[in-house]
Amino acid sequence: MPVKAGSNVRDPSTPEGRIVQDALATVSGQPGCQRVYFGVEEEDLSLMRWFLDWDSVDDHKKFMASE
């Protein structure tokens, strides 16, 4: 995901960090979601990566199909 220059997505006291924390809570609360990891690339601070572990591919597909 792109990160706005100067944003601190790791700090939940910032507006951007609060958005990330809220999104993490939403995703991690989905049926079948085991874990969520995220970080900002060291080589390119304008990119954030998320990694999600699911119980099954079907759980992932159900999440992707949801609003």
Q: Is there a contact between 54 and 34 (Cβ–Cβ < 8 Å)? A: yes
Give the per-residue pLDDT at 23.
94
The 3-state DSSP class for residue 19 equals helix
Question: Residue 1 domain-assigned?
Answer: no
Binned at pLDDT 50, 70 and 90, residue 6 comes out as confident
Closest to 1 measured CA to CA, from 14, 20, 15, 29: 20
pLDDT digits (tens, 9 = 90+) for 7-30: 999 999 999 999 999 999 999 999
Question: Residue 45 domain-assigned?
Answer: yes
Q: Write phi, then psi, for 49 (nearest 5 degrees).
A: -115, 140
Its domain, for residue 30, covers 15-65
Question: Residue 7 domain-assigned?
Answer: no
Q: Is there a contact between 63 and 32 (Cβ–Cβ < 8 Å)? A: yes
The two structure tokens encoding residue 32:
């079948």
